[in-house]
Structure 1
Amino acid sequence: MQLVRGLHNLRPCHRGCVATIGNFDGVHRGHQGVLARLRERAQQAGLPSCVVLFEPQPREFFTPAQAPARLSSLREKLELLRALGIDRVLCLSFNPRLRELSADQFIQQVLIEGLGVAHLEVGDDFRFGCDRRGDFRLLVEAGRQAGFSVESASTILLDGRRISSTRVRECLAAGDFAAAKVLLGRPYAIQGRILHGQKLGRTLGAPTANVQLNRLLPALQGVYLVSVELAGRHWPGVANIGTRPSVKGDGRAHLEVHLLDFAGDLYGRRLCVQFHRKLRDEQRFASLEALKTAITADIAAARAHWQGQPLENPR
């Protein structure tokens, strides 16, 4: 899959494609249905499939404090799109310059001059351009004049309700990982590189891996039973994701994972953390001793769980 970062990096060789536009946060089964049809249309036209997305996501740009929690980082999103067979991704930096483009300018500069779109798939509620003045009807009319077709992306339903990123977030907030798995088509997981942290876990008897989140706000908060994939092997563990209110920090969300019975240096390596069950909410403790007692109890609960349901590893 080819990644093009920014409109300025589009070249004549990128012209001619079948495209869709959206956030694709989580790349859930609803998105997967849209992307399957995109690939089908692209194969019929003999053109590459192209996904246009924005970083940051528009609501993160306009109202970062009120933006929805991120299901997937940009890297996770790109890996999921690659696995689904998408040929090309155009990632546009959502900045003041892009925000000021009128709907007509967006169509002309991005879709016509930049990508040379032959066919476009978007939701019929899609809005774009400065002040969100562009809509599906404008795209259809522009396509009629410029020679590209526009089709409404089909909505995928489950139990009579639309599969959406919002619905996935609701399941994760409720700790319903089974329902989230059905909506996503895979277990919910977070990937990230291990960074140096405060190393407080060592003094509390529970060394942790500080996993880089690469998102303003994660979709989970609390203490969880997790399994960690590392170099093809799965390790049971317990994780805390949140702002760590009991210790002095930067106020940002962090993901810290304690791997049961693991010994070794993890710094700089990438982990995939899969979430299985919520143990408790994150809370502020009056002392480090109280925090240590809670962590010991969390690890004991995780050990009891994983002894009853051991992970299988390839031989």
Structure 2
Amino acid sequence: MRLIRGLTNLKRIAGRADSPLASGCVATIGNFDGVHRGHTTIISQVKEKSRALGLPSVVIIFEPQPQEFFRGDQAPPRLMPFRQKFEALLAEGVDMVLCIRFDQTFRSYSAMGFIDDVLIGGLGVRHLVVGDDFRFGCDRAGDFRLLNQVGQERGFSVENTRTVTVDGERVSSTRVRNALTVNGLEEAERLLGHPYRIHGRVVYGRQLGRQLGAPTANILLHKMAALRGVYVVRARLDSGQWQDGIANIGLRPTVDGKRPSLEVHLFDFAGTLYGQHLDVVFRHGLRDEVKFDSVDELRQQIVRDFETARAWLAANPATPDT
């Protein structure tokens, strides 16, 4: 069992005689948006302790993320959708992910209620890794000090997270997001530990790209991404095959787009991509997203974008597996 969705399922699993949490676990809590170098360091701490204690490692995340609940459309853009985050956490060697629905009911949880019902009653936490600035519970009343105090009384230990810095500053999701917002792909890569990518399923679109001479694989984004504009990309298909291409990410203002989307055109590719999951790596920014006066102007710009992208790819060939 790798994903536990919601507190109801957690309670059901915890009540089983064969529960994987029967002896407890080592856990950490956070948004883990982007799963950047700071996050992977925290996960390493959790795994070290879980191996030492012979217990499963668990990452607790929230859906929607708390800022999305409180701020709605004004919340910062996501670095990755939920499925991609879950897969990234598993790739780091996490045994289980608990995803708690952040709604009005959960928002009203007291700090002690969270400790009793989730950490102790649900997960049986034996060791917890969190930052010393971590706050939780209704009105953010719970903190590191409270966790330490209750842990000493109830039989679990609490450890502070290790800080990771790049260029003298702490690595954070906000810092990655800020880099991407100004097209700082190289800085984002240093903070993430790998090139920025978005993973998503190809869905049926309006076929506008085909009408413009540039058929695209359309990936709907439930939230606006930190990137907006036209990019040179490299995409991995379900088969494991890599293809170079060009992508537009944003709202498609010329054709009155209403929902954020990622549209990817793969160069020299013939085939059907509907239903596949593409792993899209952003390699180079070409231009901002622009609203053109006519579809014909957009068509002409697409031709120029293709030429520019192919020239950049010729000068910057990718390695076989990226």
What is the TM-score when the length of structure 1 is the normalising length? Answer: 0.96
Distance in 1, Cα, partners of 2:213 & 2:29: 48
Q: Please state how far the C-alpha of 1:309 moved relative to its aligned partner.
A: 3.0
Q: Residues 252-306 of structure 1, C-alpha deviation per residue, up to 9 Å, x if partnerless?
A: 2110011111111111111111001111110111111111111111111111122
Match of 1:57 among 65, 75, 80: 65
Which one-letter code corresponds to 1:140 in the other structure? N
Residue 312 of structure 1 deviates from its aligned partner by 4.9
Q: Does 1:294 align with 2:296?
A: no
1:203 is aligned to 211
Aligned residues: 312
Q: Comparing 301-310 with 240-249, which one deviates more in the overlay?
A: 301-310
Deviation track 1:152-171 (CA, whole Å, cap 9, x = no partner) reads 11111122100111111122
1:101 pairs, out of 83, 105, 109, with 109
Task: Please provide the CA RMSD for this pair.
Answer: 1.3
Q: Which segments of 5 or more consecutive residues in structure 1 lack a partner in the other structure?
A: none
- Distance in 1 separating the partners of 2:158 and 2:318: 47
Which residue is equivalent to 2:135? 127
Q: Which residue of 2 aligns with 1:272?
A: 279
Query: How far apart, CA to CA, are the structure 1 residues paired with 2:289 and 2:103?
Result: 34
Question: How many percent of aligned residue pairs carry the same amino acid?
Answer: 54
Check the 8 A contact 2:224/2:250 in 1, yes or no.
no
Q: What's the CA shift string for 1:215-240, capped at 9, x where partnerless?
A: 41211000111111112221111100
Q: Tell me the residue number matched to 1:71.
A: 79
Any stretches of 5+ residues in structure 2 without a counterpart? none
Q: Which of 190, 204, 210 is equivalent to 1:182?
A: 190
Match of 1:153 among 161, 167, 170: 161
Structure 2 residue 262 is the aligned partner of structure 1 residue 255: yes
SS of the residue 1:105 aligns to = helix
Distance in 2, Cα, partners of 1:312 & 1:152: 38
Look up the match of 2:4: 4
- CA contact 1:235–1:311 (8 Å) conserved in 2: no
- Aligned-pair CA distance for 1:196: 0.6
Question: 1:185 offset after TM fit, Å?
Answer: 1.0
Aligned counterpart for 1:24 among listed residues 27, 32, 42: 32
Q: Which residue number corresponds to residue 126 of structure 2? A: 118
TM-score normalized by the length of structure 2: 0.94
Letter in 2 for 1:280: R
Partner residue, 2:152: 144
Q: 1:283 aligns with which of 290, 301, 322?
A: 290
